[in-house]
Chains A and B, each alone.
Chain A
Amino acid sequence: MSEKGEFVPRIVAFLCNWCGYAGADLAGVSRFQYPATIRVIRIMCSGRVQPSFILEAFKDGADGVLVCGCHIGDCHYISGNEYAERRFKKTQKILSILGIDPRRVRLEWVSAAEGMKFSQVVTEFTEQLKELGPFEAS
């Protein structure tokens, strides 16, 4: 919650070392503005993100989870992001069975040159989560 009592979502962001994290870095260096709602966890590849990681984030009080990886075909490990996509779909299915809105999770491909896109993604996602409200209270 901010000073005004307005809801500020807590987002856990899994960023891949080669694209997502570098993109976020570029956004910072280029001074693109985006809301300070994300808590970044750097991972070597978006393919490492298991459904369990996302569930654990929700368990520990996150309102949304963002996963960023390289564009399809650009993965540093050739096909890691294809695994990420498959696992992400599985996660969305599990969340909808649990009765959690699948819009609370988001998978985006952000390359190291797309600092602007990163800031846009975070801004959009924050707006969406504000609409959905806090996870614990919903």
Chain B
Amino acid sequence: MITDINLKKRVSYCYQCGTCSGCCPVSYTQEFSPRAIIYDLLNNPHPQEILKKNNLLACLTCNYCLSRCPQNVDFGEFIRAARTEMFREGFRVEETHDCFVSNFSNIMAKENVIPKLPKDYIPTNVQLASKGEIAYFPGCLAVLGAYFDDIGIDFTQIAKSSILILDKLLDKPLVLLENAKCCGHDVLWQGDYETFKKLAEYNVNLIKKAGVKLVITSCAEGYRTMKKDYKELFGELPFEVKHITQFLAEELEKGNLKFKGNISKSVTYHDPCRLGRHMNEYDAPRKLLKAMEEIGVKFHEMERIRESALCCGVSAFNYCNDFTKAIRVDRLKEAERTADCLLTTCSKCQIHFNCTLTEKKSSELERINVEVKDIVTIIAEAMGLLNE
């Protein structure tokens, strides 16, 4: 029931100032107001109807409103809880790519399906272990890589770079969780809690079996899900989760990370909502980029950064349309004004940005001249690992 006290509690502190609706990136382009949704929920005697009336699907759950809210109302969490309720009643989000993501997550959640990372995602000159203390979690990278093979992202490079960097920094062989399933982020935010639970159970067991103490992920969504949502589901976990930029920033402070060569490239950094506003990690990637300035990388900041960063415009492959495309174009143009290369740490952000870029490529007027890349690939390049 949507009248569930927990669900209401999250939003009952709202005093209707409207800051959320004023800053919401969705409300720039379409009719959507977090404030009005909360007002309706708290005042309508039949809250069930609000779910049908208000378009809860349009919310990006980017937590921009939370970062501005004077009452700390977590609207993103509320949306997630509401979508879970709606899912149980048979309601489904508007997923793009013919529901590809929910379908493959559902198949992955089956007990007899054990995915395996293909060989081209693993560098050949690296020694990997099956048990050890530090592990790399690739998640669903390979599946996304196979599906989005025509929009100009090299997913193999993301996995390879991460493995090469970690291998260089660690004195013991790195554990590669090559049978890991998707972390379940997308199904969770689509409201499919049962599938998420199955995926989470499998992954936690896999990590426990490998005896891993520290799991490193190169994906912002995977980081958030494993760190926050797995903890919510299972309580304290016997392992720690870190995003690769956090791990590298620590190594940089210890003086273990050395950059060499010369990369003269002007870059800018896009804060993914899952790493930035959800997990409050803004500094680690910036520290790395600043450190790379000595080998010629020019790092410029965009206008909207950190807590005020604009979302890429799609979360959980839900509700991709012309309205949300306007958000992406806005962000890409901002990046184009700032630098030649837009770096990010979220593979989904890259998919959405590159998808828009590919679409605009054919038109002379609409073309946006910016390259979107994962931050790990440029770090691996700066460490001289990719050429070897």
Residues on A lying within 8 angstroms of B by beta carbon are: 50-53, 55-56, 58-59, 90, 93-94, 96-100, 135-138
Contact = CB atoms under 8 A, between A and B. Distances in A.
Interface of B: 97-100, 103-104, 106-108, 110, 112-118, 142-143, 146-147, 149
Contacts of A135: 112
B135 to A, nearest CB: 19
Nearest to B140: A97
B149 A90 contact: yes
A97 B99 contact: no
A52 B103 contact: yes
A100 B113 contact: yes
Question: Across chains A and B, which 4 residue pairs bring their CB atoms closest together, nearest first?
Answer: A52-B98, A55-B103, A52-B100, A93-B146
B115 A99 contact: yes
A135 to B, nearest CB: 8
Nearest to A92: B146
A97 B113 contact: no
B108 A98 contact: yes
B104 A94 contact: yes
Interface of B is mostly: helix
Nearest to A137: B112
Q: Which of A56, A90, A97, A135 has the most CB of B within 10 A?
A: A97
Contacts of A93: 146
Contacts of B115: 97-99
B114 A51 contact: no
18 contacts: A50-B97, A50-B100, A51-B147, A52-B100, A55-B104, A56-B99, A56-B103, A58-B107, A59-B103, A59-B107, A90-B146, A94-B143, A96-B118, A97-B115, A97-B117, A97-B118, A100-B107, A135-B112
B152 to A, nearest CB: 16
B229 to A, nearest CB: 23
A135 B112 CA distance: 8
The secondary-structure label for the interface of chain A is helix
A99 B147 CA distance: 16
A94 B99 CA distance: 15
Contacts of A98: 104, 107-108, 113, 115, 143
B24 to A, nearest CB: 30
A11 B112 CA distance: 19
A55 B100 contact: yes
A60 to B, nearest CB: 9
Contact of A59 (B97, B106, B146): B106
Given A90-B146, A98-B143, A136-B112, 4 more contacts: A51-B147, A94-B147, A98-B113, A99-B113
A56 B108 CA distance: 12
Nearest to B141: A97
A100 B112 CA distance: 9
Contacts of A137: 112
Contacts of A55: 100, 103-104, 107
Contacts of A52: 97-100, 103
A30 to B, nearest CB: 35
Contacts of B99: 52, 56
